[in-house]
Amino acid sequence: MSVFVAGLSYKTAPVEVREQLAVLPSKVGCHACRLKVVGGLDEVVLLSTCNRVEIYGVAPEVNGNIKSIFQLLAKFPCDLRRHLYVHEGAAALQHLFTVASGLDSMVLGETEITGQVKDAYEKAQAARLTGGVLNRVFQKAFHAAKEIRTQSKIQRGATSVGSVAVELAEKIFRQDLSQQTTIILGAGQMGETVLRHLAKKGAKSILVSNRSFDRAEALARAFGGRAIRFDDRLAAMANADIVVASTGCPQVLLSRDEVEELLRRRRQRPLFLIDISVPRNIDPEAQNVAGAYLYNIDDLEAIVRQNVRLREQDLALCRAIIDRQSAALMNKLTGGKEKQHDLGLQTQPGWLPGRALALGGQSVLQ
């Protein structure tokens, strides 16, 4: 058998590609089942976030091309080969540990990804898609993530996409958010993260709009904000300075035409739009409207790079923890056998840990 991970992330694919593969949380179980059947997998966990879509699996052998497996997730036919990476054996374990610890995230050391990986694993486990191998692998990954959090300072500074979005708003308004009105579209985990950071920065006027008005009310109340009915969101935007879209809705909620109308009603007063949803909720063409300033999740990378420099000194410690924990797990999975053939955990000749396997090369996921 072979343990593997195959996927794409913000490092290999822009948001317009990632949104074609994004899976709604309510659909993860169904898609994972299809992947298991079509791919001939013994075990599988499907991870879908705003920055990555990855398949973790165990299989005796996977026939066919990895593109055909990923194509099941795509909303439209698209060529994914140049965006995909594949890791097997030791490299797959190290990749999962790195992802779960927030070390492969756009925001280095982010805390949300650990919860997202746990959620993906628990959904797969509840659907009986995991077994002895992935159960052990994911539990060890969470243990490594916890050790990294407690022994390093990798989480200094902005540690989530939501907190970086607030940093961007601060830059736009020169550190003062107390006089600005912000409306959040979406009352999920990401919206809550944005609200928490806005409150910490002294934001006074916060509006929350969500399809579930009860959820919007509960979230707004927790942070001293005000709930807006979803059908009234456009009217509220006419008086807002910042719009943050962070829903799980797979369609555009704010079109270019609507942005143009908003600017006319605002008498061309600038409107800052931050879309951290994948799929995107704000029409990308809105960036061409005079007076509208649109930033999507990929645009946050400049702020992220600044935060990375603050954390680089902790990376060596984090890597050492991952190397030690993944090596210990490999030893258990293979029974201490040097050649490690029973689980396919050997690396390819000349393989370096963390290196992606080219789709044209030899792989169980060819």
Side chain identity at residue 152, one-letter code: S
CA torsion through residues 40, 43, 48, 51, sign: negative
- At 29, the amino acid letter reads G
Buried b (16+ CB within 10 A) or exposed e, 319-344: bebbeebbeebbeebbeeeeebeebb
CA distance 242 to 293: 10
**Tokens 């934001």 identify what position?**
203
Say if CB 101 and CB 148 are below 8 A apart.
yes
DSSP secondary structure string for all residues of 89-127: HHHHHHHHHHHHTTTTSSSTT-SHHHHHHHHHHHHHHHT
Cα–Cα distance measured from residue 97 to residue 50, given in angstroms and rounded to the nearest whole number: 19
Rounded CA gap, 166 and 195, in Å?
9
The CA distance from 269 to 262, in Å, is: 9
Q: Which residues have C-beta within 8 Å of that of residue 228, sequence separation ≥ 6?
A: 183, 207, 208, 209, 216, 236
Instruction: At 75, list the tokens.
Output: 């909303």
Q: What is the total residue count of the chain?
A: 366
Question: Would you report the helix, strand and coil content of the chain in percent, each value rounded to 5?
Answer: 45, 15, 40
Q: Is 33 considered catalytic here?
A: no
C-alpha span between 239 and 219 (Å, rounded) = 21
Q: Give residues with Cβ within 8 angstroms of 7, minimum separation 6.
A: 47, 52, 53, 54, 55, 84, 85
Pull the structure tokens for residue 89.
């054996």
Nearest residue to 298 (alpha-carbon basis) of 274, 334, 330: 274
Exactly one of 50, 78, 249, 318 is catalytic; name it. Answer: 50
Residues marked active site are found at: 50
